[in-house]
Amino acid sequence: MAEETIEILDSDGINRALTRIAHEILEKNKGSEGLVLIGIRTGGAYLAAELHRKIMAIEGHDVPLGVIDVTMYRDDISSRQNLAVGQTDIRFSITDKKVILVDDVLFTGRTIRAAMEALMDHGRPRNIQLATLVDRGHRELPIRPDFIGRNLPTARNEKIRVDFDANNTPKAVQLHRS
């Protein structure tokens, strides 16, 4: 079969989805009190920054924003190529906070498992909620997102990519089939 690339969302589509997610987060949590945003490096971190801007614009005050790298918590370090370990940057306590964990594409759920374990090493959050731009299915662990940009049933051999421009603004969501 020929290689194929399908655009699922363009930058406007992504922007609308993130705006909706921002409102849903605030609705579900009854405002931004006690809320912190933590993005999973690297795509999730860029999306968390977008959500952070939107939530600040709606609420009119700041919400803590952090970045987490989960490489050192992965369960497959012996069975794949070495990944560079990125830097975690969480300069606030997450204990008793409502943590919105942000990732770009939710797939097997193993990254989220690693991220939750990493978060627990930083403190004891009141709860962890999961926001993802794309949920492509194929979960291997009992993990479910709270906020979803787009549900996208996929085949396992397909690839989903979220592209960012030079300013780390999300540009497009694409599906690759080969």
Stretch in the footprint of another protein (CB under 8 A) among 26-34, 79-87, 135-143, 162-170? 79-87
Residues 15, 71, 129, 174: which binds another protein (CB under 8 A)?
71
Cβ pair 64, 92 in contact under 8 A? yes
Q: Judged by CB under 8 A, does residue 87 bind another protein?
A: yes
Q: Judged by CB under 8 A, does residue 141 bind another protein?
A: no
- φ and ψ of 110, to 5 deg: -70, -35
Q: Judged by CB under 8 A, does residue 81 bind another protein?
A: yes
Select 6 or 85, whichever has its Cβ closest to another protein: 85
Q: Judged by CB under 8 A, does residue 86 bind another protein?
A: yes
Give the torsion sign (CA, 89, 93, 94, 95). positive
Q: Judged by CB under 8 A, does residue 157 bind another protein?
A: no
Q: Is 69 exposed, middle or buried (0-12, 13-18, 19+ CB in 10 A)?
A: buried
Stretch in the footprint of another protein (CB under 8 A) among 45-53, 66-74, 124-132, 134-142? 66-74
Distance (Å, rounded) from C-alpha 32 to C-alpha 1?
Answer: 48
Stretch in the footprint of another protein (CB under 8 A) among 28-36, 45-53, 115-123, 130-138? 115-123
Helices (H), the chain: 11-28, 43-59, 110-120
Q: What is the DSSP letter of 73?
A: G
Q: Judged by CB under 8 A, does residue 79 bind another protein?
A: yes
Q: Judged by CB under 8 A, does residue 91 bind another protein?
A: no
CA distances from 122 to 66, 82, 92, 166, 173 (A): 12, 24, 9, 31, 31
Select 15 or 71, whichever has its Cβ closest to another protein: 71
| Binding-site ranges for another protein (CB under 8 A) | 69, 71-74, 77-89, 117-118, 121-122
